[in-house]
A and B are shown apart, each in its own frame.
Chain A
Amino acid sequence: MLDHVLAPHFLWMLWDGFLVTLAISFLTIIFATLLGFLIAIAQKSDIKVIQQLINSYTAIFRYSPLLPQLFFWYFGIGNLLPLEFKLWLFDEPQIELGIITIKMPSFEFIIGLVALTLYSSAFIAEEFRAGISGVRRDQEQASLALGFTWWQTMRYIVLPQGCRIAFPPLIGQYMNVIKNSSLTMAIGVLELSYVSRQVETESLKTFQDFAIATFLYIVAVAIVGTAGNIYQTNFLNRERII
């Protein structure tokens, strides 16, 4: 019976991979939300050039797969970075943040984060845009008529309502970020999929290994989904009644 169980050090490897998946997904979600939000606001601009730039940005990132994009950043842009920077990263420098010191993430991790963030921000911007355009025009006009400036109208009237509409699809995008983070294995980020492949070749217990990795992914996605649901029922919907 014991033959079928994965040895503890394989379990620890998978756990470490899971933590890397969580870290890269979490950072991507934060950066991509900020960037996506800015893009969505910029899209409301009246200047034609900005609109067209942003439309082509979202189109090119949404209509091409993540994998070649990762290779583009890793092989293409990665090559253009100064060698000193890469050598410095290679030494695994520590960053001191007050009392705790954390290890500087690897070159692969940073590139993976950049690629994932840009890719996800296009989708997130699209959800924000849809949310904002879901706010009725009367709201904007009424607020302008009441003497709010355009910025105040956006800040106090349009955006709060738009974000509320955009919230459920945003949660879906956050789940996609977790799933997409698995692609960073292709450029050598030591996340869950990469590690599960490694454990498979070392332990030869494919079934148990994949089952654990799959379970961890489902847990991560389920946490995001439940957190989103709780937030929506307890905070967003209650506000609407008041």
Chain B
Amino acid sequence: MELKGFEVIWNNLDYLMWGNLPGGIALTLIMSLSAIIFATLLGILLGVGLTLAKGGIRQILVVFLGFLRAIPIIMLIFWTFFLLPILFNIDVPAIATVIFALSLVGAAYIGYSVHAGMVAISQGQWQAAFSLGLGKKQVIFYIILPQAVKMMMPSIVNQWIPLIKDSSLAYIVGVAELTFVATQINNRSMIYPTEIFIFVILVYFVICWFVNFVVAQFLKDRSY
């Protein structure tokens, strides 16, 4: 009886992997990877913004980031799902809205990490860079930011794993990623939900654990 459930998974392995192109595990990976890239780039910009901005602009930035961190990602997905087509006046595919929402949330957290890193760089670095005649932009992008990002790398990677996990929320708006595909198979077979969802949980676990492991190795190798 136990084996029958895994037979369902085995028979549908192709569908779980690729869905109807794109879909399944492949789509989960694509969405997570794009969200990670966008979130990290945007997060670095936000970190620079938090460090440099003063007065009103900084206030607006802090409130906006606080907003992103305070609301559930589902609400943010609803908002982007509803607002993006109005803002850009085009039909935005659901995948894009989810990636957009995930990137914003990830960026909000990564932004604070980068900001913390930049603040922690000693004043001497800033002063030395300025006294060498570098402009403000050069000081930030050539001197301060590389050190800050290097120092905060573990914290930034810690934000990547929630992004992989949260890509499962795309299910809510009907994107055919792993969780969605699994519920489809579950609805079709109806008899082996336990095995199917254990499989899904294990797949996510392996992906997250793998990312964590690889990055930890990478950080250890170039220890400084």
Contact = CB atoms under 8 A, between A and B. Distances in A.
A136 to B, nearest CB: 23
Given A64-B204, A65-B165, A76-B197, A186 B172 contact: yes
A182 B75 CA distance: 8
Contacts of A196: 75, 78
A67 B72 contact: no
A110 B15 CA distance: 32
A71 B197 contact: yes
A55 B165 CA distance: 19
B82 A179 contact: no
Interface string B168-186: 1101100000010011001
Contacts of B71: 179, 214, 217-218, 221
A71 B67 contact: no
A217 B165 CA distance: 21
B205 interface: yes
Contacts of B208: 63-64
A180 interface: yes
Contact of A214 (B75, B165, B169, B182): B75
8 contacts: A60-B205, A68-B168, A71-B200, A76-B193, A179-B70, A179-B71, A183-B74, A210-B78
Nearest to A183: B74
Candidate in B71, B72, B166, B209 with the most chain A CB atoms within 10 angstroms: B72
B75 A221 contact: no
A179 B73 contact: yes
A180 B72 contact: yes
B179 A214 contact: no
Contacts of A63: 161, 165, 204-205, 208-209, 212
Q: What DSSP secondary structure best describes chain B's contact surface?
A: helix
Contact of A221 (B70, B169, B186): B70
Nearest to B193: A75
**Looking at A76, A80, A181, which has the most chain B CB atoms within 10 Å of its CB?**
A76
B215 interface: no
A65 B186 CA distance: 18
A72 interface: yes
A183 B169 contact: yes
B171 A67 contact: yes
Chain A, interface size category, equals 35 or more
B197 A75 contact: yes
A222 interface: yes
A183 B201 CA distance: 16
B79 A214 contact: yes
A113 interface: no
Interface in A41-87: 59-60, 63-69, 71-72, 75-77, 79-80
Contacts of A77: 194
B176 to A, nearest CB: 14
A72 B201 CA distance: 9
- A-B residue pairs, 6 tightest by C-beta: A75-B193, A76-B194, A72-B197, A182-B72, A65-B165, A65-B168
Contacts of A218: 67, 70-71
Contacts of A213: 75
A193 interface: yes
B132 interface: no
A157 B67 CA distance: 39
Contact of A182 (B74, B82, B194, B197): B74
Given A178-B72, A218-B67, A218-B71, 4 more contacts: A67-B169, A79-B193, A182-B72, A196-B75
B167 to A, nearest CB: 8
A185 interface: yes
Contacts of A182: 72-75
